[in-house]
């Protein structure tokens, strides 16, 4: 009798354990499936939306992938689940590569990024066209240029300073034209003050950048 009760008790415990294990496996399968569904859903996201929201997409993906990989350890027969997970990983990596390539292609070159900072987004391109600068806005252009250079002077390399000098001279050339088109005496004096501020800043910092490059070359 005692033996029968013992066997029955062991059977109940075993059944309970099996039941718990099955529930755990089911939850794990759901987690893996949730990851697979998420990756599949990204296929319907418009490319423009994917680029705009990429950081959020990638962060959510990372969380779901980690959850799926952890869940995979709770699935006894996990070959199918593993294959599904790996297939979704490959699918996502292909999408990620595509989006990142598009984002990289849209990024301005270092020179263009500098022009954007010094003059405003898209104001100056490779053609160095300053025709948009006139007697009404030239003081503001000089002010933005000189003060942006001052704020970032410690970050520029010797090549950066050479590019800055090139743009500065092009702006000065435009000023010669603008002076004949109604530049006020007041604005002209303020521009002269900005030019006095720029000249020594350029000379000293370019020399410093060149010295740093020479020291690095020696090392």
Q: Is a pLDDT exceeding 80 seen at residue 17?
A: no
pLDDT of residue 194: 97
Q: What is the mean pLDDT of residues 114-135?
A: 93
Are the C-beta atoms of 28 and 75 separated by less than 8 Å? yes
What is d(CA 144, CA 73) in angstroms, rounded to the nearest whole number?
58
Region of 35 on the Ramachandran plot (φ > 0 left; ψ -120 to 50 alpha; else beta): alpha
Q: Which residues contact 163 (CB under 8 A, 6 or more apart)?
A: 111, 114
In this structure, what token pair is assigned to residue 22?
Answer: 């099955």
- pLDDT reported for residue 218: 63
Question: Is the Cβ–Cβ distance between 150 and 197 less than 8 Å?
Answer: yes
In this prediction, residue 136 carries a pLDDT of 94
Mean pLDDT of 134-153: 96
With contact defined as beta carbons under 8 Å apart, do 115 and 144 qualify? no
State the pTM of this model. 0.57
pLDDT of 134 > 90? The answer is: yes
pLDDT for 6: 45
Higher-pLDDT residue of 59 and 24 is: 59
């Amino acid at each position: 009798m005692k033996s029968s009760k013992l066997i029955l008790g062991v059977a109940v415990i075993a059944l309970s354990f099996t039941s718990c294990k099955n529930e755990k496996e089911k939850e794990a399968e759901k987690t893996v499936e949730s990851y697979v569904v998420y990756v599949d859903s990204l296929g319907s996201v418009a490319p423009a939306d994917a680029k705009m929201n990429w950081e959020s997409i990638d962060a959510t993906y990372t969380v779901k992938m980690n959850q799926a990989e952890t869940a995979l350890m709770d699935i006894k027969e996990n070959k199918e689940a593993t294959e599904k997970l790996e297939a979704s990983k490959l699918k996502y990596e292909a999408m990620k590569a595509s989006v990142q390539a598009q984002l990289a292609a849209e990024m301005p070159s270092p020179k263009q990024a500098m022009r954007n900072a010094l003059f405003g987004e898209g104001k100056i391109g490779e053609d160095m066209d300053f025709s948009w600068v006139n007697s009404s806005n030239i003081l503001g252009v000089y002010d933005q240029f000189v003060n942006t250079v001052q704020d970032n002077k410690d970050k520029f390399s010797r090549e950066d300073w050479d590019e800055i000098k090139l743009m500065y001279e092009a702006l000065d050339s435009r000023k010669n034209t603008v002076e004949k088109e109604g530049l006020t005496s007041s604005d002209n004096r303020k521009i002269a003050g900005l030019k006095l501020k720029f000249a020594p800043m350029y000379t000293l910092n370019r020399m410093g950048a060149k010295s740093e490059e020479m020291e690095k070359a020696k090392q």
